[in-house]
Structure 1
Amino acid sequence: MKTSTFKNRIKKGMVSLVLTAVVSGVANLAQAQTVKNVVLVHGAFADGSGFKSLYTELTAKGYHVTVVQNPLTSLEDDVAAVKLALDKQDGPAVLAGHSWGGAVITEAGNHPKVAALVYIAAFQPDKGESALQWLQTAPPAPENGVLAPDDKGIVYYDKAKYHAGFCADISKEEADFMYASQGAFYAKGFVTPITNPAWRNKPTYGLIATEDKSINPDIQRAMYKRSNTKVTEVKGSHVIFMSQPKIVAGVIIKAAENASVKN
C-alpha cells in the first residue's frame, strides 16, 4: 500500500471518530436536558392566585412557572386547559396539582412534555376511579365545609367554615381573599372517572398535609402508598403551598432535578 493512501485512510478514520464523538456528545446533551419548567394546577374552591408564594420560591431558583386557570367546569375542560399550557412549554416540565387539581394532572400528565408529577394534598385516582370515590373513603372533619351541589350543579364551600376547614394556617385576610377569588366548581368533575392515570408511567411525588380538614390525611396516605409515590409529610392545612411554600417548592425542585438526571 502506498504511503499516501495509508495516510488518507488514517485521516478519514480520525475524522469518522471525531464525528462519532460529536454526535454522541449531542445525544448525551439532549438526554441530560434539565427540567426548568413548572406548571401549577389549582383545585376547587380556589384559583391560580393562591400560588403566588410558590411561584416566587420557584422563580427565585430559576424555574419558569406557568399557573393554569382551569375553568372547573368539568374534568375534560380542566385537562384541556392544562394541556394547552403544556403545549406552550419550551421543554420538559414538572406538572403539579393541588386538591382537585390532582385528578386533573392524573389525566393531563400523559402529555409528552410532562417529566414528573407532584401531588400537593391532592387526589390521585386510578383508572375508572373518581375524586369523589376517594373523598368518601373517610368521614369528613367537623371543620369541612363542602356543601351539596346547588340547582346548577355547582359545589361551594361554606363561607363560615372556609378559614378553619380549608386554610387554617394562613391569615384571615388571605383566607377572605381566597374565598372571594375562587372559581365555580361543577360537581360533575368530582364523579368523572379517570381513563389513563399518568402516575403509572411518570415519576411521581406527593405532599401530605397532616392537618388537612378538606381531604383527610389518611386518604392522601392511602392513595400515595398504592402508587408508590415519593411522599413528604408537611405539618399544615389543605393549602400547604401557601403556608409552607419553601417545602412544597423543594419537592418540586427535587422532582425536576431527578427528572433531569433520568432524561
Structure 2
Amino acid sequence: MSLTSAALTAVFLAATAFVPAAAAQDAPKKTVVLVHGAWANGSSWYKVIPILEKAGLNVVAVHNPLSSMAADVANTRRVIEDQPGRVILVGHSYGGAVITEAGDSDKVESLVYVAAFAPEAGQSINAIIRPFGTPEYFPSIHVARSGCGPPPTS
C-alpha cells in the first residue's frame, strides 16, 4: 500500500466513523486539515487533496513557516479556528508532532498520523528518536553556509 493510499484510507475511516447513514446525508461536509512535514509545504498534499474533495470532504492544506515548533503549532491552530465546525487533523512526518500539540482544541474531532511522529502532548521529537542513537552517517553530513548546495570540499 502506497503512502497516498494509506493516508486516504486513514482519513476516510476518520471521516466516516460512527456516522449513521441518515445523519450523514443531512450533515455538513467534514473538513480535513492537512499538516505537512519538515522541509515541505502544503503543496506536498497535491495528490491527496483532489481525491478527498471528490469524496465530498472540505480540505485545507496548512502552509507552516517551519521557523519553530511553536510557530507551526500556532499557525495550525489559526487554520483550525478559521474552519466552520469541527475538523479532522492529519499530519505527516514532523507534522505529527504539530498536530499532537495543535489538536487539543474542541474543534478537533480526530487526529490522523500518516507516516508521522506521534508524540505524547509536550514530548519532543528528540525524546522519541534519542533511544535509537546517532546514525553512523551523521558525521558525514555538512550544511552549506547558504543552507543548501554541495558539502564543503576542504
Tell me, yes or no, whether TM beats 0.5: yes
The residue type equivalent to 1:123 in the other structure is: F
List, as ranges, runs of 4+ consecutive aligned residues in structure 1 with deviation greater than 4 Å: 32-35, 139-144, 147-152
List aligned pairs for 1:122-201, cutoff 5 A: 122-138=116-132
Q: 1:143 to 1:95 in 2, by over 3 A?
A: farther
Partner of 1:74: 68
Q: 1:143 to 1:129 in 2, by over 3 A?
A: same
Partner of 1:118: 112
Structure 2 gaps, min length 5:
1-22
Partner of 1:181: none
Q: 1:83 to 1:118 in 2, by over 3 A?
A: same
Structure 1 gaps, min length 5:
1-28, 161-263
For residue 46 of structure 1, the aligned residue among 17, 40, 52 is: 40
CA RMSD of aligned residues (A): 3.2
SS in 2 for 1:107: helix
For residue 87 of structure 2, the aligned residue among 87, 93, 114 is: 93
Shift in Å, 1:134 = 1.0
Taking the aligned partners of 1:61 and 1:140, their CA distance within structure 2 comes to: 42
The answer to whether residue 49 in structure 2 is matched with residue 55 in structure 1 is yes
Q: 1:128 to 1:62 in 2, by over 3 A?
A: closer
Taking the aligned partners of 1:51 and 1:59, their CA distance within structure 2 comes to: 12
Count of aligned pairs:
125
Identity of aligned residues (%): 38
SS in 2 for 1:59: helix
SS in 1 for 2:50: helix
Taking the aligned partners of 1:120 and 1:159, their CA distance within structure 2 comes to: 31
TM-score (norm 1): 0.41
Shift in Å, 1:142 = 7.5
Q: 1:128 to 1:104 in 2, by over 3 A?
A: closer
Taking the aligned partners of 2:150 and 2:126, their CA distance within structure 1 comes to: 21
Partner of 2:8: none
Shift in Å, 1:107 = 0.7
Taking the aligned partners of 2:145 and 2:51, their CA distance within structure 1 comes to: 40
Partner of 1:191: none
Shift in Å, 1:123 = 1.1
CA distances 1:76-99 after superposition (whole Å, capped 9, x unpaired): 110111111111111111000011
Taking the aligned partners of 2:120 and 2:142, their CA distance within structure 1 comes to: 25
TM-score (norm 2): 0.68
CA distances 1:195-228 after superposition (whole Å, capped 9, x unpaired): xxxxxxxxxxxxxxxxxxxxxxxxxxxxxxxxxx
Taking the aligned partners of 1:78 and 1:53, their CA distance within structure 2 comes to: 23
CA distances 1:104-154 after superposition (whole Å, capped 9, x unpaired): 10010012211000011111112442111212232577899xx577889x8
Please say which structure displays the higher CA radius of gyration. 1
